[in-house]
């Protein structure tokens, strides 16, 4: 009876994870969102009744601690098998600005970087720490953090991609967060992975001519997660289980 927590489950990939995991009645599924009523209403409309929704904000450490406490009483024996940290933040107004474009906008760079740091790096660390005691009680012991192929330096240079500067910088930092947790937790058989979902048809990638649907991406990601072993801990992989990002 596997148990899952999705941090950042209100829309896009996060909600697709709820849809996908709820199809198996043996799963215990918990979603963390900032606004619970909206997500609960959508679940009702879709006829999904076996998902628990808790309040959790990646920029609010206490809310994550409270969510972990609530989750402990929902999960069988307070044990969590897999956590998927999906939530992130990005400023749409800066996505198309290359690094040199901030030369005349230092205040915007400061605002963008600090807002991103709070959620995409610090918020990830706080999410992992809040639920780590539950993971240590679980059987699978897997921590998955959603990254992006855009955080691969080789890809950025080879494809000439100077844009999405802040989010890619922070996701690269996130990949190191994953590596450091993996180094610490390997002796306890905890598997930690940074996972790129590929190019998905969400609001952020609506222009892409060949994206996957969120559910298609989730199916690919799940295969990678199922195959994850302790030998893979700390790695940064695509939805194909390798370095093929598209």
Reported as a single tens digit per residue, the pLDDT across 73-88 is: 999 999 999 999 999 9
Reported pTM: 0.94
Confidence class for position 205, pLDDT limits 50, 70, 90: very low
Q: Which of 49-63, 171-185, 195-209 has the lowest mean pLDDT?
A: 195-209
Judge whether 64 and 130 are in contact, CB under 8 Å.
yes
Across residues 40-57, what is the average pLDDT?
A: 98
Residue 37 has pLDDT above 60, yes or no: yes
Judge whether 199 and 239 are in contact, CB under 8 Å.
no
Strand partners, 144: 84, 193
**Length of the chain as a residue count:** 246
Tell me which H or E stretch contains 16. helix 12-21
Q: Which domains does the chain have, with CATH numbers?
A: 3-237 (3.40.50.720)
Give the tens place of pLDDT for each residue, 171-187. 999 999 999 999 999 99
Judge whether 194 and 142 are in contact, CB under 8 Å.
no
Q: Which of 89, 111, 114 is nearest to 102 (CA)?
A: 111
Report the percent of the chain where pLDDT is more than 70: 96
Q: Compute CA 235 distance to the chain's CA centroid, rounded to the nearest angstrom.
A: 15
Across residues 57-83, what is the average pLDDT?
A: 98
Half-sphere CA count of 195, side-chain side, radius 13 A: 32
The Cα–Cα gap between 119 and 180 comes to: 18
* H helix intervals, 34-193: 36-45, 61-74, 106-116, 124-137, 153-159, 165-185
pLDDT value for 171: 97
């Amino acid at each position: 009876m596997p148990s899952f927590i999705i941090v950042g489950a209100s829309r896009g990939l996060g909600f697709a994870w709820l849809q996908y995991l709820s199809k198996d009645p043996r799963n215990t599924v918990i979603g963390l969102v900032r606004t619970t009523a909206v997500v609960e209403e959508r679940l009702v409309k879709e006829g999904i009744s076996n998902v628990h929704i808790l309040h959790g904000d990646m920029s609010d450490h206490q809310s994550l601690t409270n969510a972990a406490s609530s989750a402990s009483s929902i999960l069988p024996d307070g044990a969590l098998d897999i956590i998927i940290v999906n939530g992130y933040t990005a400023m749409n107004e800066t996505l198309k600005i290359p690094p040199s474009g901030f030369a005349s906008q230092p205040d915007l760079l400061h605002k963008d970087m600090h807002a991103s740091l709070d959620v995409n790096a610090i918020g990830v660390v706080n999410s992992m720490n809040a639920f780590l005691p539950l993971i240590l009680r679980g059987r699978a012991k897997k921590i998955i953090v959603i990254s992006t192929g855009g955080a691969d330096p080789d890809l950025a240079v080879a494809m000439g991609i100077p844009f999405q500067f802040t989010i890619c910088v922070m996701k690269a930092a996130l990949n190191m967060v994953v590596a450091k947790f993996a180094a610490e937790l390997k002796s306890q058989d905890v598997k930690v992975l940074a996972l790129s979902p590929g190019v998905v048809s969400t609001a952020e990638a609506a222009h892409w001519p060949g994206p996957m649907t969120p559910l298609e991406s989730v199916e690919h990601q799940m295969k990678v997660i199922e195959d994850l072993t302790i030998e893979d801990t700390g790695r940064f992989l695509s939805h194909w289980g390798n370095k093929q990002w598209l």
